[in-house]
Amino acid sequence: MSDRLLRVNAYTTLDLVEGRARGHEFTTEAPGVVNVTAPREDPDHVALEVELDNTAIDDLTAHADEIDLSPAQARTLAEALESTADRVEAAQGGDGSS
């Protein structure tokens, strides 16, 4: 991804995920980055950041979406991700050891 807004390095949570930008008049697929972080000093929230490769999307200008979560909200999201991943693996007949 050229012209990134999010810094991507060895500590980035997920890079090169398959993503989609969807609007009222369009849906475009593009590779993206998902990162979870918190401020280094005196952390007061968990930040969830998502950026799709702007070179693959004509309908949007370069941007990154960021959501600030409380620790409780981050745990609720983590639990929802775990249970949904379990359901998808079960439907695919997988045991999670990929």
pLDDT at residue 3, rounded to an integer: 73
At residue 83, does pLDDT exceed 60?
Answer: yes
Give the residue from 55, 60, 36, 54 showing the smallest Cα distance to 46.
36
Bridge partners (DSSP) listed for residue 18? 31
The verdict on pTM exceeding 0.85 is: no
Q: Give the ranges where the chain is alpha helix by DSSP (H).
A: 71-91
Give the residue from 31, 32, 41, 34 showing the smallest Cα distance to 11.
34
Confidence at 39, pLDDT banded by 50, 70, 90: very high
Which residues have a Cβ under 8 Å from the Cβ of 32 and sit 6 or more positions away?
A: 1, 16, 17, 18, 19, 50, 51, 52, 53
